[in-house]
Chains A and B, each alone.
Chain A
Protein backbone atom coordinates (compact mmCIF):
# COMPACT_ATOMS: atom_id res chain seq x y z
CA UNK A 1 0.00 0.00 0.00
CA UNK A 2 1.29 3.48 -0.86
CA UNK A 3 2.29 5.57 2.10
CA UNK A 4 -0.10 8.45 2.43
CA UNK A 5 2.17 11.37 3.29
CA UNK A 6 5.40 10.10 1.78
CA UNK A 7 8.09 12.76 1.77
CA UNK A 8 6.16 15.32 3.80
CA UNK A 9 8.01 17.14 6.58
CA UNK A 10 6.05 17.51 9.80
CA UNK A 11 6.34 19.05 13.25
CA UNK A 12 4.01 17.85 16.02
CA UNK A 13 3.97 19.94 19.19
CA UNK A 14 2.98 18.04 22.29
CA UNK A 15 4.38 15.08 20.39
CA UNK A 16 5.82 13.18 23.35
CA UNK A 17 2.59 11.99 24.90
CA UNK A 18 -1.08 11.16 24.43
CA UNK A 19 -2.64 12.21 21.14
CA UNK A 20 0.50 13.99 19.87
CA UNK A 21 2.60 10.88 20.25
CA UNK A 22 0.07 8.77 18.32
CA UNK A 23 0.06 11.35 15.52
CA UNK A 24 3.87 11.50 15.34
CA UNK A 25 4.02 7.69 15.18
CA UNK A 26 1.36 7.49 12.49
CA UNK A 27 2.92 10.23 10.38
CA UNK A 28 6.29 8.48 10.50
CA UNK A 29 4.66 5.16 9.56
CA UNK A 30 3.00 6.87 6.58
CA UNK A 31 6.28 8.13 5.17
CA UNK A 32 6.72 11.60 6.69
CA UNK A 33 9.86 12.99 8.32
CA UNK A 34 8.66 13.96 11.78
CA UNK A 35 9.87 16.10 14.64
CA UNK A 36 7.98 15.68 17.90
CA UNK A 37 8.41 18.83 19.99
CA UNK A 38 7.43 18.85 23.64
CA UNK A 39 8.28 20.35 27.00
CA UNK A 40 10.44 17.67 28.71
CA UNK A 41 14.20 17.88 28.17
CA UNK A 42 14.23 14.31 26.87
CA UNK A 43 11.47 11.98 25.79
CA UNK A 44 11.15 8.52 24.28
CA UNK A 45 9.51 8.97 20.91
CA UNK A 46 8.33 6.39 18.35
CA UNK A 47 10.72 4.93 15.75
CA UNK A 48 11.56 7.29 12.95
CA UNK A 49 10.62 10.40 14.95
CA UNK A 50 13.14 13.04 16.05
CA UNK A 51 12.57 14.67 19.44
CA UNK A 52 13.12 18.34 20.10
CA UNK A 53 12.54 20.19 23.37
CA UNK A 54 10.41 23.33 23.15
CA UNK A 55 8.37 25.53 25.44
CA UNK A 56 5.52 26.58 23.14
CA UNK A 57 4.70 29.57 25.33
CA UNK A 58 8.00 31.34 24.51
CA UNK A 59 8.44 33.08 21.19
CA UNK A 60 12.22 32.66 21.08
CA UNK A 61 11.97 28.94 21.85
CA UNK A 62 9.35 28.31 19.18
CA UNK A 63 11.27 30.38 16.65
CA UNK A 64 14.39 28.32 17.40
CA UNK A 65 12.43 25.08 17.15
CA UNK A 66 11.11 25.96 13.70
CA UNK A 67 14.61 27.00 12.57
CA UNK A 68 15.85 23.65 13.81
CA UNK A 69 13.02 21.88 11.99
CA UNK A 70 14.02 23.60 8.76
CA UNK A 71 17.61 22.48 9.31
CA UNK A 72 16.75 18.87 10.17
CA UNK A 73 13.84 18.32 7.78
CA UNK A 74 14.86 20.70 5.02
CA UNK A 75 11.55 22.57 5.21
CA UNK A 76 8.05 22.15 6.55
CA UNK A 77 4.81 20.90 4.99
CA UNK A 78 2.71 19.94 8.02
CA UNK A 79 2.31 21.39 11.50
CA UNK A 80 0.18 19.78 14.20
CA UNK A 81 -0.25 21.82 17.38
CA UNK A 82 -1.09 19.22 19.97
CA UNK A 83 0.48 20.76 23.08
CA UNK A 84 -2.27 21.47 25.58
CA UNK A 85 -3.13 21.45 29.26
CA UNK A 86 -6.28 21.66 31.32
CA UNK A 87 -7.05 22.96 34.78
CA UNK A 88 -10.16 21.49 36.37
CA UNK A 89 -11.64 24.57 38.01
CA UNK A 90 -14.43 27.11 37.79
CA UNK A 91 -13.41 30.72 37.14
CA UNK A 92 -13.69 31.67 40.83
CA UNK A 93 -11.21 28.97 41.75
CA UNK A 94 -8.89 29.80 38.86
CA UNK A 95 -6.01 32.09 39.78
CA UNK A 96 -4.67 34.67 37.38
CA UNK A 97 -1.50 32.58 37.04
CA UNK A 98 -3.52 29.46 36.20
CA UNK A 99 -5.59 31.36 33.63
CA UNK A 100 -2.42 32.70 32.01
CA UNK A 101 -0.85 29.25 32.00
CA UNK A 102 -3.83 27.64 30.20
CA UNK A 103 -4.09 30.47 27.68
CA UNK A 104 -0.33 30.52 27.16
CA UNK A 105 -0.03 26.83 26.37
CA UNK A 106 -3.30 26.22 24.53
CA UNK A 107 -3.85 29.47 22.65
CA UNK A 108 -0.60 31.43 22.58
CA UNK A 109 1.31 28.18 21.99
CA UNK A 110 -0.85 27.53 18.93
CA UNK A 111 -0.38 31.11 17.75
CA UNK A 112 3.41 30.98 18.10
CA UNK A 113 3.86 27.60 16.45
CA UNK A 114 1.69 28.65 13.49
CA UNK A 115 3.32 32.09 13.25
CA UNK A 116 6.77 30.60 12.86
CA UNK A 117 5.65 27.69 10.69
CA UNK A 118 3.86 29.81 8.09
CA UNK A 119 7.06 31.25 6.51
CA UNK A 120 8.44 27.72 6.10
CA UNK A 121 5.21 26.53 4.50
CA UNK A 122 5.14 29.56 2.22
CA UNK A 123 8.66 28.67 1.09
CA UNK A 124 7.46 25.10 0.45
CA UNK A 125 4.63 26.40 -1.74
CA UNK A 126 1.90 25.55 0.74
CA UNK A 127 1.15 23.27 3.66
CA UNK A 128 -1.36 21.94 6.14
CA UNK A 129 -1.79 23.15 9.71
CA UNK A 130 -3.81 21.02 12.10
CA UNK A 131 -4.62 22.73 15.39
CA UNK A 132 -6.31 21.22 18.44
CA UNK A 133 -9.60 22.66 19.48
CA UNK A 134 -11.99 20.56 21.49
CA UNK A 135 -15.64 19.69 21.63
CA UNK A 136 -15.33 21.81 24.81
CA UNK A 137 -14.99 24.80 22.49
CA UNK A 138 -18.67 24.24 21.59
CA UNK A 139 -20.23 22.87 24.76
CA UNK A 140 -19.02 23.17 28.34
CA UNK A 141 -17.66 20.51 30.62
CA UNK A 142 -18.22 21.49 34.26
CA UNK A 143 -15.18 22.87 36.12
CA UNK A 144 -13.13 23.41 33.01
CA UNK A 145 -13.76 27.09 32.34
CA UNK A 146 -10.34 28.34 31.26
CA UNK A 147 -9.79 25.25 29.13
CA UNK A 148 -13.16 25.70 27.36
CA UNK A 149 -12.35 29.35 26.68
CA UNK A 150 -8.88 28.56 25.36
CA UNK A 151 -10.28 26.01 22.91
CA UNK A 152 -12.91 28.46 21.69
CA UNK A 153 -10.00 30.77 20.99
CA UNK A 154 -8.22 28.08 18.99
CA UNK A 155 -11.36 27.59 16.89
CA UNK A 156 -11.56 31.26 15.98
CA UNK A 157 -7.81 31.46 15.34
CA UNK A 158 -8.03 28.45 13.05
CA UNK A 159 -10.70 30.07 10.89
CA UNK A 160 -8.75 33.33 10.79
CA UNK A 161 -5.57 31.60 9.65
CA UNK A 162 -7.47 29.63 7.00
CA UNK A 163 -8.87 32.89 5.68
CA UNK A 164 -5.51 34.71 5.71
CA UNK A 165 -3.21 32.00 4.34
CA UNK A 166 -5.50 30.01 2.05
CA UNK A 167 -4.45 32.02 -1.01
CA UNK A 168 -0.87 30.88 -0.37
CA UNK A 169 -1.84 27.22 -0.41
CA UNK A 170 -1.79 26.83 3.37
CA UNK A 171 -4.79 24.97 4.74
CA UNK A 172 -5.71 25.22 8.40
CA UNK A 173 -8.13 22.97 10.25
CA UNK A 174 -8.85 22.16 13.90
CA UNK A 175 -9.53 18.71 15.30
CA UNK A 176 -11.99 18.89 18.18
CA UNK A 177 -11.80 15.66 20.16
CA UNK A 178 -14.30 14.49 22.71
CA UNK A 179 -13.35 11.82 25.27
CA UNK A 180 -10.04 10.29 24.20
CA UNK A 181 -8.06 7.88 26.37
CA UNK A 182 -5.12 10.04 27.42
CA UNK A 183 -3.52 11.05 30.72
CA UNK A 184 -6.04 13.95 30.71
CA UNK A 185 -8.98 11.51 30.62
CA UNK A 186 -7.38 9.28 33.26
CA UNK A 187 -7.16 12.34 35.50
CA UNK A 188 -10.90 12.91 34.94
CA UNK A 189 -11.70 9.27 35.80
CA UNK A 190 -9.41 9.52 38.82
CA UNK A 191 -11.72 12.11 40.38
CA UNK A 192 -14.61 9.62 40.55
CA UNK A 193 -15.34 7.54 43.60
CA UNK A 194 -16.38 4.47 41.61
CA UNK A 195 -14.30 4.37 38.44
CA UNK A 196 -16.00 1.25 37.02
CA UNK A 197 -19.44 2.81 37.31
CA UNK A 198 -18.23 6.06 35.79
CA UNK A 199 -16.57 4.25 32.91
CA UNK A 200 -19.78 2.31 32.19
CA UNK A 201 -21.75 5.54 32.16
CA UNK A 202 -19.23 7.22 29.87
CA UNK A 203 -19.43 4.32 27.41
CA UNK A 204 -23.22 4.32 27.47
CA UNK A 205 -23.59 8.02 26.75
CA UNK A 206 -21.56 7.68 23.55
CA UNK A 207 -23.64 6.65 20.51
CA UNK A 208 -20.74 4.38 19.46
CA UNK A 209 -20.59 2.93 23.01
CA UNK A 210 -16.92 3.62 23.64
CA UNK A 211 -14.56 6.51 24.24
CA UNK A 212 -11.90 7.30 21.69
CA UNK A 213 -8.28 6.26 21.38
CA UNK A 214 -5.38 8.49 20.34
CA UNK A 215 -5.22 6.40 17.14
CA UNK A 216 -8.75 7.55 16.20
CA UNK A 217 -7.49 11.11 16.32
CA UNK A 218 -4.31 10.24 14.44
CA UNK A 219 -6.46 8.82 11.62
CA UNK A 220 -8.14 12.19 11.14
CA UNK A 221 -4.91 14.17 11.55
CA UNK A 222 -3.36 12.02 8.84
CA UNK A 223 -6.25 12.65 6.46
CA UNK A 224 -6.16 16.40 7.08
CA UNK A 225 -2.37 16.48 6.58
CA UNK A 226 -2.62 14.58 3.30
CA UNK A 227 -3.37 15.89 -0.17
CA UNK A 228 -6.72 14.06 -0.04
CA UNK A 229 -7.92 16.99 2.08
CA UNK A 230 -6.82 19.55 -0.51
CA UNK A 231 -10.12 21.45 -0.44
CA UNK A 232 -10.74 21.14 3.31
CA UNK A 233 -9.83 24.30 5.19
CA UNK A 234 -11.06 26.46 8.04
CA UNK A 235 -13.12 23.68 9.55
CA UNK A 236 -13.57 22.44 13.09
CA UNK A 237 -13.62 18.65 12.88
CA UNK A 238 -15.46 17.29 15.89
CA UNK A 239 -14.38 13.71 16.63
CA UNK A 240 -16.33 12.44 19.60
CA UNK A 241 -18.11 9.17 18.85
CA UNK A 242 -21.35 11.08 18.39
CA UNK A 243 -21.34 12.49 21.93
CA UNK A 244 -22.20 16.08 21.03
CA UNK A 245 -24.67 15.12 18.28
CA UNK A 246 -27.23 14.52 21.05
CA UNK A 247 -28.86 16.68 23.64
CA UNK A 248 -28.29 15.85 27.32
CA UNK A 249 -30.17 12.67 28.18
CA UNK A 250 -32.75 12.52 30.92
CA UNK A 251 -32.73 9.41 33.11
CA UNK A 252 -36.06 7.75 32.43
Chain B
Protein backbone atom coordinates (compact mmCIF):
# COMPACT_ATOMS: atom_id res chain seq x y z
CA UNK B 1 0.00 0.00 0.00
CA UNK B 2 1.42 3.39 -0.94
CA UNK B 3 -1.22 5.63 0.56
CA UNK B 4 1.19 8.50 1.14
CA UNK B 5 2.88 8.37 -2.23
CA UNK B 6 4.36 11.72 -3.16
CA UNK B 7 3.50 13.36 0.17
CA UNK B 8 6.18 15.44 1.88
CA UNK B 9 6.28 14.89 5.61
CA UNK B 10 8.07 16.61 8.47
CA UNK B 11 8.09 14.30 11.51
CA UNK B 12 9.70 15.45 14.74
CA UNK B 13 11.53 13.04 17.03
CA UNK B 14 11.92 10.33 14.39
CA UNK B 15 15.06 8.73 15.78
CA UNK B 16 13.42 6.27 18.15
CA UNK B 17 10.25 5.03 19.77
CA UNK B 18 6.94 5.94 18.18
CA UNK B 19 8.62 8.54 15.97
CA UNK B 20 10.88 5.93 14.43
CA UNK B 21 7.88 3.73 13.64
CA UNK B 22 6.14 6.70 12.01
CA UNK B 23 9.19 7.47 9.85
CA UNK B 24 9.49 3.80 8.79
CA UNK B 25 5.79 3.61 7.94
CA UNK B 26 5.75 6.85 5.97
CA UNK B 27 8.78 5.76 3.95
CA UNK B 28 7.15 2.38 3.27
CA UNK B 29 3.99 4.18 2.13
CA UNK B 30 5.90 6.28 -0.37
CA UNK B 31 6.29 9.59 1.47
CA UNK B 32 9.36 11.81 1.52
CA UNK B 33 10.44 12.38 5.11
CA UNK B 34 12.48 14.98 6.97
CA UNK B 35 12.83 14.28 10.68
CA UNK B 36 14.80 15.62 13.62
CA UNK B 37 16.18 14.75 17.00
CA UNK B 38 18.52 15.97 19.67
CA UNK B 39 21.24 13.35 19.32
CA UNK B 40 23.16 11.62 16.57
CA UNK B 41 20.76 9.23 14.84
CA UNK B 42 21.08 5.78 13.40
CA UNK B 43 20.86 5.74 9.66
CA UNK B 44 17.32 6.74 8.71
CA UNK B 45 17.95 7.06 4.96
CA UNK B 46 16.22 7.89 2.74
CA UNK B 47 14.71 10.10 5.44
CA UNK B 48 16.71 13.29 6.01
CA UNK B 49 17.73 13.80 9.64
CA UNK B 50 18.26 17.26 11.07
CA UNK B 51 19.78 17.77 14.51
CA UNK B 52 17.54 20.20 16.37
CA UNK B 53 16.78 21.35 19.89
CA UNK B 54 13.06 22.05 19.64
CA UNK B 55 13.12 24.29 22.70
CA UNK B 56 14.97 26.84 20.52
CA UNK B 57 12.95 28.96 18.08
CA UNK B 58 16.06 29.26 15.91
CA UNK B 59 16.29 25.47 15.50
CA UNK B 60 12.61 25.28 14.57
CA UNK B 61 13.05 27.93 11.87
CA UNK B 62 16.08 26.05 10.53
CA UNK B 63 14.17 22.74 10.59
CA UNK B 64 11.21 24.14 8.65
CA UNK B 65 13.50 25.82 6.10
CA UNK B 66 15.51 22.65 5.67
CA UNK B 67 12.35 20.57 5.17
CA UNK B 68 11.17 22.91 2.42
CA UNK B 69 14.61 22.92 0.82
CA UNK B 70 14.84 19.13 0.85
CA UNK B 71 11.29 18.35 -0.28
CA UNK B 72 10.06 21.47 -2.08
CA UNK B 73 7.23 21.94 0.43
CA UNK B 74 5.45 20.30 3.36
CA UNK B 75 2.14 18.42 3.07
CA UNK B 76 2.23 16.68 6.44
CA UNK B 77 3.50 17.70 9.86
CA UNK B 78 3.65 15.12 12.65
CA UNK B 79 4.48 16.71 15.99
CA UNK B 80 5.74 13.55 17.66
CA UNK B 81 8.66 14.79 19.75
CA UNK B 82 7.83 14.89 23.43
CA UNK B 83 9.39 14.48 26.85
CA UNK B 84 8.00 13.44 30.19
CA UNK B 85 9.02 14.26 33.75
CA UNK B 86 7.89 11.83 36.42
CA UNK B 87 7.04 14.23 39.24
CA UNK B 88 4.13 15.67 41.15
CA UNK B 89 3.50 19.42 41.06
CA UNK B 90 5.09 19.76 44.52
CA UNK B 91 8.34 18.26 43.26
CA UNK B 92 8.50 19.99 39.87
CA UNK B 93 11.14 22.71 39.49
CA UNK B 94 11.02 25.74 37.22
CA UNK B 95 13.76 24.13 35.15
CA UNK B 96 11.59 21.00 34.74
CA UNK B 97 8.69 23.22 33.68
CA UNK B 98 10.70 25.21 31.14
CA UNK B 99 12.19 22.08 29.57
CA UNK B 100 8.97 20.08 29.32
CA UNK B 101 6.81 23.00 28.20
CA UNK B 102 9.52 23.98 25.71
CA UNK B 103 9.27 20.64 23.93
CA UNK B 104 5.67 19.48 24.45
CA UNK B 105 3.95 22.84 24.22
CA UNK B 106 6.02 25.68 22.75
CA UNK B 107 7.64 23.59 20.01
CA UNK B 108 4.29 22.14 18.90
CA UNK B 109 2.83 25.64 18.68
CA UNK B 110 5.90 27.05 16.91
CA UNK B 111 6.13 24.23 14.39
CA UNK B 112 2.45 24.56 13.53
CA UNK B 113 2.93 28.31 13.18
CA UNK B 114 5.93 27.77 10.89
CA UNK B 115 4.23 25.16 8.72
CA UNK B 116 0.68 26.57 8.34
CA UNK B 117 1.70 29.24 5.78
CA UNK B 118 3.64 26.61 3.83
CA UNK B 119 0.55 24.37 3.69
CA UNK B 120 -2.03 27.07 3.08
CA UNK B 121 -1.66 27.05 -0.70
CA UNK B 122 -2.42 23.42 -1.36
CA UNK B 123 -3.71 22.12 1.97
CA UNK B 124 -2.17 19.65 4.34
CA UNK B 125 -2.51 17.44 7.36
CA UNK B 126 -1.14 17.98 10.85
CA UNK B 127 -1.11 15.21 13.43
CA UNK B 128 -0.07 16.02 16.98
CA UNK B 129 0.81 13.42 19.58
CA UNK B 130 -1.65 13.91 22.39
CA UNK B 131 -2.14 11.33 25.11
CA UNK B 132 -4.71 9.47 27.13
CA UNK B 133 -2.99 11.30 30.00
CA UNK B 134 -4.65 14.55 28.95
CA UNK B 135 -8.04 13.21 30.02
CA UNK B 136 -7.04 10.59 32.59
CA UNK B 137 -4.19 11.64 34.87
CA UNK B 138 -1.16 9.39 35.09
CA UNK B 139 0.13 9.57 38.68
CA UNK B 140 3.30 11.61 39.19
CA UNK B 141 3.24 13.01 35.67
CA UNK B 142 1.58 16.32 36.49
CA UNK B 143 2.99 18.74 33.97
CA UNK B 144 3.28 16.07 31.28
CA UNK B 145 -0.45 15.38 31.62
CA UNK B 146 -1.16 19.11 31.47
CA UNK B 147 1.04 19.61 28.42
CA UNK B 148 -0.98 17.02 26.52
CA UNK B 149 -4.17 18.85 27.45
CA UNK B 150 -2.66 21.85 25.67
CA UNK B 151 -2.00 19.71 22.61
CA UNK B 152 -5.63 18.59 22.43
CA UNK B 153 -6.90 22.16 22.72
CA UNK B 154 -4.47 23.47 20.10
CA UNK B 155 -5.42 20.63 17.75
CA UNK B 156 -9.09 21.61 17.77
CA UNK B 157 -8.23 25.29 17.32
CA UNK B 158 -6.07 24.71 14.27
CA UNK B 159 -8.76 22.48 12.76
CA UNK B 160 -11.39 25.17 13.22
CA UNK B 161 -9.24 28.14 12.15
CA UNK B 162 -7.46 26.61 9.17
CA UNK B 163 -9.97 24.08 7.83
CA UNK B 164 -11.08 26.49 5.13
CA UNK B 165 -7.49 26.50 3.80
CA UNK B 166 -7.69 22.75 3.29
CA UNK B 167 -5.63 22.02 6.38
CA UNK B 168 -6.78 19.22 8.67
CA UNK B 169 -5.45 18.87 12.20
CA UNK B 170 -5.95 15.88 14.49
CA UNK B 171 -4.30 14.39 17.54
CA UNK B 172 -3.49 10.77 18.28
CA UNK B 173 -3.63 9.73 21.92
CA UNK B 174 -1.59 6.62 22.66
CA UNK B 175 -2.03 4.54 25.77
CA UNK B 176 0.82 2.44 27.13
CA UNK B 177 3.10 1.89 24.17
CA UNK B 178 6.30 -0.10 24.57
CA UNK B 179 8.96 2.59 24.33
CA UNK B 180 11.75 3.86 26.54
CA UNK B 181 9.26 6.44 27.81
CA UNK B 182 6.90 3.70 29.00
CA UNK B 183 9.83 1.89 30.64
CA UNK B 184 10.58 5.04 32.62
CA UNK B 185 6.95 5.08 33.77
CA UNK B 186 7.04 1.44 34.88
CA UNK B 187 10.36 2.03 36.65
CA UNK B 188 8.47 4.27 39.08
CA UNK B 189 6.75 1.16 40.46
CA UNK B 190 8.13 -0.77 43.41
CA UNK B 191 8.09 -3.87 41.23
CA UNK B 192 8.29 -2.82 37.55
CA UNK B 193 7.68 -6.37 36.27
CA UNK B 194 4.52 -6.69 38.37
CA UNK B 195 3.40 -3.23 37.22
CA UNK B 196 3.80 -4.34 33.62
CA UNK B 197 1.74 -7.50 34.24
CA UNK B 198 -0.94 -5.37 35.89
CA UNK B 199 -0.98 -2.98 32.94
CA UNK B 200 -1.51 -5.87 30.54
CA UNK B 201 -4.30 -7.29 32.70
CA UNK B 202 -6.04 -3.91 32.65
CA UNK B 203 -5.87 -3.59 28.88
CA UNK B 204 -8.79 -5.22 27.03
CA UNK B 205 -6.47 -5.89 24.07
CA UNK B 206 -4.41 -8.15 26.37
CA UNK B 207 -1.11 -6.56 25.46
CA UNK B 208 0.77 -3.30 25.62
CA UNK B 209 0.84 -1.20 22.49
CA UNK B 210 3.55 -1.23 19.86
CA UNK B 211 4.87 1.90 18.15
CA UNK B 212 3.48 0.49 14.90
CA UNK B 213 -0.07 0.56 16.34
CA UNK B 214 0.23 4.33 16.61
CA UNK B 215 1.99 4.73 13.26
CA UNK B 216 -0.88 2.84 11.57
CA UNK B 217 -3.41 5.43 12.71
CA UNK B 218 -1.18 8.40 11.90
CA UNK B 219 -0.61 7.08 8.38
CA UNK B 220 -4.36 6.76 7.91
CA UNK B 221 -5.06 10.23 9.30
CA UNK B 222 -2.49 11.80 6.97
CA UNK B 223 -3.91 10.12 3.88
CA UNK B 224 -6.77 11.25 1.66
CA UNK B 225 -9.06 8.57 3.16
CA UNK B 226 -9.35 10.81 6.23
CA UNK B 227 -10.39 13.89 4.24
CA UNK B 228 -13.48 14.49 6.43
CA UNK B 229 -11.65 13.94 9.73
CA UNK B 230 -10.46 17.04 11.54
CA UNK B 231 -10.36 18.46 15.05
CA UNK B 232 -10.38 15.01 16.63
CA UNK B 233 -8.26 13.43 19.34
CA UNK B 234 -8.30 9.73 18.49
CA UNK B 235 -7.19 7.27 21.16
CA UNK B 236 -5.25 4.06 20.46
CA UNK B 237 -4.85 2.37 23.82
CA UNK B 238 -6.09 -1.20 23.43
CA UNK B 239 -9.22 -0.21 25.35
CA UNK B 240 -7.35 0.81 28.52
CA UNK B 241 -9.39 3.94 29.21
CA UNK B 242 -12.83 2.45 28.54
CA UNK B 243 -12.78 0.46 31.77
CA UNK B 244 -12.93 1.79 35.31
CA UNK B 245 -9.67 1.98 37.33
CA UNK B 246 -11.47 0.15 40.14
CA UNK B 247 -11.15 -3.51 39.20
CA UNK B 248 -11.80 -5.82 42.16
CA UNK B 249 -10.50 -8.83 40.25
CA UNK B 250 -7.08 -7.16 40.13
CA UNK B 251 -6.84 -6.32 43.84
Between B1, B205, B237, the greatest number of chain A beta carbons within 10 A of the residue's beta carbon is seen for B205
Would you call B239 and A163 a contact (CB within 8 A)?
yes
Task: List residues 223-243 of chain B with CB under 8 A from any CB of chain A.
Answer: 225-232, 234-239, 241-243
B148: A residues at CB distance < 8 A: none
Would you call A207 and B204 a contact (CB within 8 A)?
no
- Give the Cβ gap from A194 to chain B, nearest Cβ, in Å: 23
Would you call A216 and B203 a contact (CB within 8 A)?
no
A212: B residues at CB distance < 8 A: 228
| A233-B205, A242-B163 known; A208-B241 Cβ under 8 A | no
Would you call B229 and A220 a contact (CB within 8 A)?
yes
Q: Mark B209-251, 1 if CB is under 8 A from A, else 0.
A: 1100110110010000111111110111111011100000000
A141 at the interface (CB under 8 A from B): no
Residue of B nearest to A2 (CB): B1
B162: A residues at CB distance < 8 A: 207
Would you call A235 and B234 a contact (CB within 8 A)?
yes
Interface size on B, residues (CB 8 A): 38
| A207-B230, A231-B205, A231-B213 known; A166-B159 Cβ under 8 A | no
- Give the Cβ gap from A244 to chain B, nearest Cβ, in Å: 7
Interface size on A, residues (CB 8 A): 41
28 A-B pairs whose Cβ atoms sit less than 8 Å apart in the complex: A1-B2, A159-B242, A165-B204, A166-B239, A207-B162, A207-B164, A212-B228, A216-B228, A219-B225, A220-B229, A223-B225, A228-B216, A229-B217, A230-B213, A230-B216, A231-B209, A231-B238, A232-B213, A233-B239, A234-B243, A235-B235, A239-B228, A240-B228, A241-B163, A242-B159, A242-B163, A242-B230, A245-B230
A223: B residues at CB distance < 8 A: 220, 225
How far apart sit A235 and B175, CA to CA, in the bound complex (Å)?
A: 12
- Give the Cβ gap from A81 to chain B, nearest Cβ, in Å: 18
A interface, CB within 8 angstroms of B: 1-2, 4, 159-160, 162-163, 165-167, 169, 171, 206-210, 212-213, 216, 219-220, 222-223, 228-235, 237-242, 244-246
How far apart sit A144 and B35, CA to CA, in the bound complex (Å)?
A: 47
